């Protein structure tokens, strides 16, 4: 609620402030006629002040909410302000733009509503900046600001160029298939098929026929030849997920494909040559399985030509805000919703969680929040209970919006760790002065091992 | 001739892209034969244009609309009379009189919008109906892509 300014001098100052604010602002009287219109509003809508004054606000703003869900109407009727509602407008160039609107009623000194004020911000340009920033931290469909991940991003094109077998190791939900697809898309085989097989999902006998196919008469009901996944992936890439779950017998057959580049379909008498790149993935420690004689060591060495270990989300918590933002954009597109952002306190809450289900779990959490969130911002109340006791609340902190600090702390610690706790090296890598780094370490209360050297 | 007007309550809807109600009028100069209101079955622009085509609409009188919507309407051979504002009855009366170019029926910023709307007009099957309602000087300018 905004009280009307009676004093002429105050009014002059208020006009000056409104004119200089970067957000679009206009005011209306009780008949929805525009009575003031600042330069930022002209910039966003494309309509000049002269054109706007005296016209109804719906003709001027041309927003998706004007006729059914007008924030100004709501604010003027209820007396409660409406904050950050994301809507679309059509500007004078005929372009659709996303804006975030807030509205409040204007009251006179007797408390009577005399009009309304609406402020709006072009979030289309914010989204563009986000996209530009995103490109720096993106490899195909994988996003990360984490140093370890970005090292992998740098190596992916090189790995993709060769035809060598790749072994992806990472916990469930870390996006192993995304990596496999990225490698395929970056490789010279990109125009050929990418075939994914989940080895853990099929019983052994079925998996064998699924991978290598069968000939007519190989078994009852095998009336016709059926090509296997290797044949379908010919010239392309086959992704064998959960490779650690295959039986010893199938391990032998797979070893032959890797060694000889040939296989025999079930019931076949001649070998078929396979020109397929193999990318295998597992969430198990294959080396440990080899030690326990559960996985053939010769197959392990054949698979382990290039190994990529994908860090779990708990080891790259600085990615949580970026990924949450990415999922919001994705679900907005899929579900035709207009959620603008996730609040800092919600991010802080997520950062304290360890995500045993990794990125997939974060994606599910955001998807759930989309169901509950009816406003423009996902906040803590839209997230599930992730801990029995919120460590932050237990510690007695009232304000949990420490997300940026936590992300910064995680980011600095990972940078320090990879530089053997050497502050000067770390400062150089991050492009900041060493005194800035020292100040940050102190202000964030980081416990940096004393064994680290402070000079480079 | 069948005229369609995206509407909200008693007036022309401010933005055709965001409106679901459509007023249909079978019209002959000087009199209306039939008048009914229908709903667009979808809020997607291609589906809205398909509905206009299915309903055999000859002329669309509307408020603001996106370039995408305008292009599709014109490509579908439907005459388009955009950036019109006001109550349905006033707009229809003005249309009858050939008086829709009156400032009070044109949305704010219409000059800027007409500039992009007039581009490529000749390439398309349909046409922008406002040309014949505008004063000659303005029609000539916009046709050249000027002010």
A362 in the Ramachandran plot: left (φ > 0), alpha (ψ -120 to 50) or beta? alpha
Cα angle: B104, vertex B107, B112; to 5 degrees:
125
**Nearest residue, CB atoms, B64 vs list A52, A55, A62:** A62
Cα angle: A138, vertex A139, A144; to 5 degrees:
45
The crossing angle, in degrees rounded to 10, of helices A320-335 and A123-136 is: 130
State whether A94 and B117 contact (CB < 8 Å).
yes
Q: From 3.30.450.20, 3.30.460.80, 3.40.190.10, 3.40.50.2300, which CATH number describes the A2-123 domain?
A: 3.30.450.20
Query: For residue A63, what are its two tokens?
Result: 């927003």
Give the architecture-level CATH label for domain A404-444.
Orthogonal Bundle (1.10)
Nearest CA in chain A to B70: A94
ipTM field = 0.78
**Nearest residue, CB atoms, A60 vs list B8, B18, B108:** B108
> Which of A59, A72, A86 to substitute to test the interface with B, most B CBs within 10 Å?
A59
**Nearest residue, CB atoms, B112 vs list A62, A88, A92:** A92
Is residue B77 within 8 angstroms of chain A, CB to CB? Answer: no
Give the architecture-level CATH label for domain A137-311.
3-Layer(aba) Sandwich (3.40)
Using an 8 Å Cβ cutoff, are B127 and B74 in contact? Answer: yes
Paired residues of B26 in beta bridges: B2, B34
Question: Residue B56 is part of a domain; what is its CATH number?
Answer: 3.30.420.130
B79: closest CA of chain A, how far (Å): 18
d(CA B147, CA B144): 9
What separation in angstroms does the CA of A42 have from each of A46, A53, A115, A217? Answer: 5, 11, 20, 76
What distance lies between CA A196 and its chain's CA centroid?
A: 23
Q: Render each residue's pLDDT in chain A as its tens digit; 456 residues.
A: 555 555 666 667 777 777 778 889 999 999 999 999 999 999 899 899 999 999 999 999 999 888 888 999 999 988 888 887 878 898 888 888 888 889 999 988 888 889 999 999 887 655 555 555 555 556 667 888 777 888 888 888 888 888 899 999 999 889 899 999 999 988 999 889 999 999 888 887 788 888 888 877 777 777 777 888 999 999 999 999 999 989 888 899 889 888 888 888 888 788 888 899 999 999 998 888 999 888 999 999 999 999 999 999 988 887 888 888 888 888 887 787 878 788 878 888 888 888 999 999 999 999 999 988 876 788 888 999 887 655 545 444 444 445 556 667 777 887 788 788 888 888 877 767 788 888 888 888 888 886 544 433
Using an 8 Å Cβ cutoff, are A257 and A216 in contact? Answer: no
d(CA A453, CA A445): 18
Question: Who has greater pLDDT, B21 or B122?
Answer: B21
Using an 8 Å Cβ cutoff, are A409 and A442 in contact? Answer: no
Hey, do A137-311 and A326-401 end up sharing a CATH topology, with the first three levels equal? no
Query: Containing domain of residue B51, as a range?
Result: 2-143
Give the architecture-level CATH label for domain A326-401.
Orthogonal Bundle (1.10)
Nearest CA in chain B to A47: B109
Domain ranges of chain A: 2-123, 137-311, 326-401, 404-444
Query: For residue B111, what are its two tokens?
Result: 């000059």
In chain B, DSSP finds a helix count (H) and a strand count (E) of 5, 6
To the nearest 10°, report the CA torsion of A144, A146, A149, A155.
Answer: 100
Using an 8 Å Cβ cutoff, are A362 and A355 in contact? Answer: yes
Total domain count, chain B: 1
| Residue from B37, B46, B44 nearest B6 by CA | B37
Using an 8 Å Cβ cutoff, are B83 and B110 in contact? Answer: yes
């Amino acid at each position: 609620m905004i009280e009307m300014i009676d004093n002429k001098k105050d009014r002059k100052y208020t006009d000056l402030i409104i004119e200089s604010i970067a957000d679009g602002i206009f005011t209306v009287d009780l008949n929805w006629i525009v009575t003031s219109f600042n330069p930022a509003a002209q910039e966003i809508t494309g309509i000049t002040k002269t054109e706007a004054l005296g016209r109804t606000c719906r003709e001027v703003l041309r927003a998706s909410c004007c006729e059914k869900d007008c924030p100004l109407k709501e604010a003027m009727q209820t007396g409660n302000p409406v904050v950050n509602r994301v809507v679309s407008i059509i500007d004078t160039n005929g372009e659709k733009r996303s804006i975030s609107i807030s509205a409040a009623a204007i009251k006179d000194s007797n408390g009577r509503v005399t009009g309304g004020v609406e402020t709006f911000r072009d979030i289309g340009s914010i989204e563009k900046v986000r996209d530009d920033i995103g490109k720096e931290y993106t490899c195909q469909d994988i996003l990360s600001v984490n140093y370890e991940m970005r090292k992998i991003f740098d190596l992916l094109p090189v790995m993709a160029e060769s035809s060598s077998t790749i072994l992806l190791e990472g916990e469930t939900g870390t996006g192993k298939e995304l990596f496999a697809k990225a490698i395929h898309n970056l490789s010279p085989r990109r125009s050929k098929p990418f075939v994914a097989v989940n080895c853990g999902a099929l019983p052994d006998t079925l998996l064998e026929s699924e991978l290598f196919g069968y000939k007519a008469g190989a078994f009852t009901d095998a009336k016709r030849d059926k090509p296997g996944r290797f044949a379908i992936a010919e010239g392309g890439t086959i992704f064998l997920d959960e490779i650690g779950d295959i039986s010893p017998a199938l391990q032998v057959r797979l070893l032959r494909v890797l060694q000889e580049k040939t296989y025999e379909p079930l019931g076949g008498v001649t070998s078929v040559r396979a020109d397929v790149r193999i990318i295998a993935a597992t969430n198990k420690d294959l080396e440990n399985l080899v030690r326990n004689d559960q996985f053939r060591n010769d197959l392990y060495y054949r698979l382990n030509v290039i190994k990529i270990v994908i860090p779990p989300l708990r080891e790259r918590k600085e990615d949580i805000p970026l990924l949450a933002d990415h999922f919001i954009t994705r679900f907005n597109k899929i579900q035709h919703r207009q959620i603008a952002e996730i609040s800092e306190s919600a991010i802080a809450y997520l950062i304290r969680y360890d995500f045993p289900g990794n990125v997939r779990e974060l994606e599910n959490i955001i998807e759930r929040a989309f169901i509950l969130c009816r406003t423009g911002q996902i906040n803590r109340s839209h997230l599930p209970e992730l801990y029995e006791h919120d460590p932050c609340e237990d510690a007695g902190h009232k304000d949990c919006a420490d997300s940026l600090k936590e992300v910064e702390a995680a980011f600095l610690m990972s940078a320090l760790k990879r530089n053997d706790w050497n502050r000067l090296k770390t400062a150089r890598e991050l492009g900041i002065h060493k005194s800035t780094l020292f100040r940050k370490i102190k202000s964030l209360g980081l416990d940096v091992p004393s064994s680290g050297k402070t000079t480079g | 001739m069948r005229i369609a007007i995206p509407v909200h309550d008693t007036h022309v809807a401010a933005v055709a892209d965001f409106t679901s109600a459509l007023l249909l009028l079978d019209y002959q100069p000087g009199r209306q034969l039939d008048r009914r209101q229908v709903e667009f079955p979808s809020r997607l622009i291609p589906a809205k244009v398909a509905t206009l085509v299915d309903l055999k609409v000859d002329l669309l009188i509307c408020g603001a609309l996106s370039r995408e919507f305008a292009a599709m309407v014109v490509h579908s051979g439907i005459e388009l009379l955009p950036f019109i504002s006001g109550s349905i009855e006033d707009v229809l009366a003005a249309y009858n009189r050939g008086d829709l170019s009156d400032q009070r029926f044109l949305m704010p910023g219409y000059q800027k919008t007409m500039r992009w709307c007039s581009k490529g007009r000749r390439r398309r099957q349909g046409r922008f109906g406002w040309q014949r309602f505008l004063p000659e000087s303005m029609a000539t300018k916009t046709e050249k892509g000027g002010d």
